[in-house]
Structure formats: C-alpha cells, structure tokens
A and B are shown apart, each in its own frame.
Chain A
Amino acid sequence: MSTTQLAGLLPELEVIRKDFPILERVLEGDRPLVYLDSANTSQKPQIVIDTMVDHLERHNANVARAMHQLGAESSEAFEAARDTVAGFLNAPSRDEVIFTKNASEALNLVANTLAWATGDLSIGTGDEVVITEMEHHSNIVPWQLLTQRKGATLRWFGLTDDGHLDLSNIDDLITERTKVVSLTWVSNMLGTINPVAEIARRAHEVGAIVVVDASQAAPQLPVDVVASGADLLAFTGHKVVGPTGIGVLWGRRAVLDQLPPFLGGGEMIETVTMERSTYAGIPHKFEAGTPPIVEAVGLGAALEYLSHIGLDAIHAHEQTITAYALAGLATVPGLSVLGPLDAAQRGGAISFEIDGVHPHDVAQVLDSRGIAVRAGHHCAKPAHARYGVQSSTRMSSYLYTTPAEIDALVEGLEYTRSYFKLS
C-alpha cells in the first residue's frame, strides 16, 4: 500500500505494519483489510504473539507458589511484566501496579473497595462523587452503584457543544463534599483529551481522590502517573497492542494501603485461620487467585514494543492521521463529526453521523469493502444523548494506520451515500 508522505507519520510505517500479521489479511471478495477499529481493540504485533506462545511452550507454571524451575521462570516473567508496566507509567513503585482482568475490573475494584473503606476514604450520606458526561459506561455504572449503596450523590461535568468538558461550574461541582472525582483522560467517543492535571489539582484542594480512566490515553499519549495528578489510574491491555484478559490499576501507595481487599482468596493473604485472615501488602492484596499470567507477560511485551517506537512518536502519528481523516471526512456531504474538530485537541477516535444513513448501515457497507469500523453507542449512551444522537459510526486509527486507509474510508463513505441513493 502506498502512503502519501505527511509530516508527523511514523518514519518506518511500512516496517511497523509488517510487525502486525493480521494487517495482511485479505477478506471476502479479495478485499485487503482496512482496520479502523483500534479504539475498540488494537491489533497485536508478532513479538506479543511470540512472547505468549514461548511462555506457554517453555515456561508455563503457576506463579509465586510453585517450588520448581518452571515456577521460578513463570514468576520471574510475570513480575518482570509488572516492572515494565511501572516503567511505562513512570510509577514511583512497582508495588503500585495491580493486574486486573481489564479496565472495567480496575474501576470496579476502586468503586467497590471505596464502598467498604473506613476512615478518610469512607463514603456516606452527604458525600459526592463527580464524573463526566463523556464517560464510557464502565466509568459511570460502578459510581452509580457506589453512590446508591452508600446514600451518596453522583454529580457530573456537562459537555460543551464542541465536545469539551464544561468546566464553567467547576467550583459548584468540586466542593468540600466531593470525595472522588473520576474522569476519562481521552474520550472513546468524542476523542477529546481532557485537562486531567488541572482537574486533579482542584480535586486535591478539597481533599478528594482522583481516578483516571486511561483506557484510550495509554495507547496514544505518554502517560506519567505522577504528572497526571491521578491517585488511581486504570487502563486495559488489549488496546495497547497487548492481549485481552489483562488490565492494570495503578494507585498511589498511600491510597492503596488504605483501601480494604477486593476479592478474597489465594495469594492475597498473609495468614488464614478459620476465624479470620490477615492480608498481603500491595500489590498482592488486590490479586486473589491465579492471575492471568501469560496475558501479563504479553502485556509486558506490548508495552516494550510501544516504548521502543516511542509514545511521543506514536502520539504525533495519531495526530497526523487524525488531522488527515478530519479533512477527508469534511469532504463527504451530509457528514458531521461529533467532538472537537482540531486534531491537536483530540485522540484518534472520530465518531460521525451521515444524514440519511443509519450507522449500522454505514458499517455494513464499509464492511463489504473490507473496512472495519464500529457502529452504535460505543458504550457512551449519555454522551450520545447529550448531542441528541442515538448512535454513530466511529473510525479509530493507531500506529499502523496509513493515509491510504483513510482514503479508502472516505471513498467507502461516498459509495455508501450512493448505495443509499443520497444525492
């Protein structure tokens, strides 16, 4: 595939594409795959696949409890992945990195343990939790459950017409009553990049803790948990070219130490009697049962791969592709983009509507041309409702996306309009 040369693209794009075997797939009707659904899940480079296969073929054993060579190798690989994650996030300590099943589980871990917390972190009647209207359902529902269970109040930042957080009433929202502020760093629907550090500073002034959903940020922005101002931060493995079944919760040690255990079971204990138990320190306190070992090892390989290319370079690539896509989409009659129109203020997910064609039908016609996009509410129904939209079509790029693939999308959308006889 030939690529138009644009400043900001990854210099070795063709080499990078060769790292991802699935990008060579040819679909029904001899159509080469044009994968524009990376905000849903990213594709996997060969190094991740090989690392996982190698672990299963040569080193497989349970971690931390097998007194044999394989057990030691498996434990070492698993814990090395924790070191890689800590480095990727610039975490002050590796012990602050907790492996979960995905970002949803990480956010639910926080909301549930806060429901059981005593002391400073406890939440009750009169307390408030603040989220935003652009959250993924996984950063809305756990907080609804928490506030309903504890008699607390859920409040949220609204959105401006151009897709940003409406911060005009921040002083009314973040007050002495606020115990938690939880927000996404990058919107999975609007693409908006939020001023996380600024909001965290305001939250800390009133003594609230800050939870950041970095599911869409971790793949495409350099994430420094200290600079972000977050107290707790979640992301998922499968969006950062890693496998499914593995997510990460990072938390400041002082906060994690105060939170009670989440799930009870093996590995999270210090000692157990029939009457009571005492618990392991972090991170193991939050990792009951056999963890997703090979998935963690795969995640480690994925983050090393991204770090080798460089998150700054990946971010520049995403912004370049996003700007090119926004310009291309603007040429399609009847198409309107939801969210900021300036690529510098957004990530690589672009949701849009086309007058007269439902998103399902758009996605179906594109699929017949080998182009994979997402159609629906993208697990962000409130954000759609805010803009009076029932559902939308979303294209999302990543480090392997080429300008030629964006051209194919734009052509596909023009074909879609003609297929549905829109002049």
Chain B
Amino acid sequence: MSQDLDSLYQEIILDHYKHPHHRGLRDPFEAEVHHVNPTCGDEVTLRVHVRDGVVADVSYDAVGCSISQASASVMTDLVIGKSVAEAMSIHEEFLTLMQGRGNVEPDEEVLEDGIAFAGVAKFPARVKCALLSWMAWKDATASAVELVETTEEIR
C-alpha cells in the first residue's frame, strides 16, 4: 500500500509542494480568476499575462493540498513562455493523462515534471486537486486572449 502511496506522492511532487515555482500574484496581467474545489475548499487566485500571442506570465495565490499546490507549480513551468496554442495543447495532454484512470502513458517530452502526476490518475478523489490550477489557467487565458484581441481591434 505504501507503494501506491509513493506512486501518488512522487518526489517531484513533494519538491514542488515544498518549493513552489512562480508563486505569488504579479503585474501586469489581463485576466484574473478565482477557482474553488467546493468539496474540499481548496482555492486558487490566478493571473495570466499574454503578450504577442505568448503566455508571458502566470502568477497565483493558492491554498490546498500537496497535489493541488505542486500541480500549480508544474503548470506554470510548462506554460510560461509558450505560445497560447502550444500551452493549450499541453493543457489538453495533461487533462487526458488525469482522466485516463492510470492507463495513459505520459509523454515526458511534452509534460516534463507533469509526468509525476500519472499516479494521481489512479486516485479519482484527487484528480480534481491536480486539475484545479490548470482549469483556472485555461479560464483566465481564454479571457486574456479575448481581451487582447478586443483591445487590438479598437486600436
């Protein structure tokens, strides 16, 4: 059983949990969202800054379990600096992994540290924890892109 526990709590996850990357709320940003997991009360406030079609920054303030905190940290590593389209496809890939009930083989080329979450997919109760910040990011990025496009039209 502690083998299963170790597959959930990979060293990479515990490292990101103890030393989260890109944490804190920063300017500038075009969109800010607040997402909660109503069953457990985990919360994230997340900002996205998009410039020239690239995810220039993602900053966040979150409270929650090791899985949700580590996931936010890994997500920012993966999407910052990527084009919006590329980041959205990484999001899709992570979502597929999480919804695969442990039967999806993760691609390390794409997901990097994100492959550590493969074990989470075997714990249905924890999938929502891993997805909280990813869903917040997608929501915020969609709003940010919309805002940037509208502003450019006005110009």
Contacts and interface: CB of A to CB of B under 8 A. Distances in A.
A31 B1 contact: yes
Interface in B35-63: 39-43, 63
B81 interface: no
Interface string B8-23: 1100001000000000
A19 B7 CA distance: 37
Contacts of B123: 364
Contacts of A376: 39-41
Interface string B27-41: 000000000000111
Contacts of B66: 358, 360-361, 420
Contacts of B40: 359-360, 375-377, 391
Contacts of B8: 364
A233 B69 CA distance: 42
Nearest to B123: A364
A387 interface: no
Given A360-B65, A361-B66, A369 B1 contact: yes
A336 interface: no
- Interface range on chain B (Cβ under 8 Å from partner): 20 to 34
A353 B28 CA distance: 36
B4 interface: yes
Given A360-B40, A368-B4, A384-B41, A419 B9 contact: yes
Interface residues of A, number: 21
A369 B63 CA distance: 26
B14 A364 contact: no
A368 B63 contact: no
B43 A390 contact: yes
Interface string A4-31: 0000000000000000000000001101
B63 A390 contact: yes
B1 A28 contact: yes
A365 interface: yes
Nearest to A384: B41
B42 to A, nearest CB: 8
B1 A360 contact: no
A421 B15 CA distance: 11
A381 interface: yes
Given A390-B41, A391-B40, A365 B5 contact: yes
A29 B66 CA distance: 24
B150 interface: no
B131 interface: no
Given A376-B41, A384-B41, A390-B41, A360 B129 contact: yes
Contacts of A390: 41-43, 63-64
Contacts of B82: none
Contacts of B151: none
B41 A391 contact: yes
Contacts of A365: 5
Interface of B: 1-2, 4-5, 8-9, 14, 39-43, 63-67, 69, 123, 126, 129
Given A360-B64, A391-B42, 20 more contacts: A28-B1, A31-B1, A358-B66, A358-B69, A360-B40, A360-B42, A360-B67, A360-B129, A361-B9, A361-B65, A361-B66, A361-B67, A364-B5, A375-B40, A377-B40, A384-B41, A390-B63, A391-B40, A391-B41, A420-B66
15 contacts: A28-B1, A29-B1, A31-B1, A358-B69, A360-B129, A364-B126, A368-B1, A368-B5, A369-B1, A376-B39, A384-B41, A390-B42, A390-B43, A390-B63, A390-B64
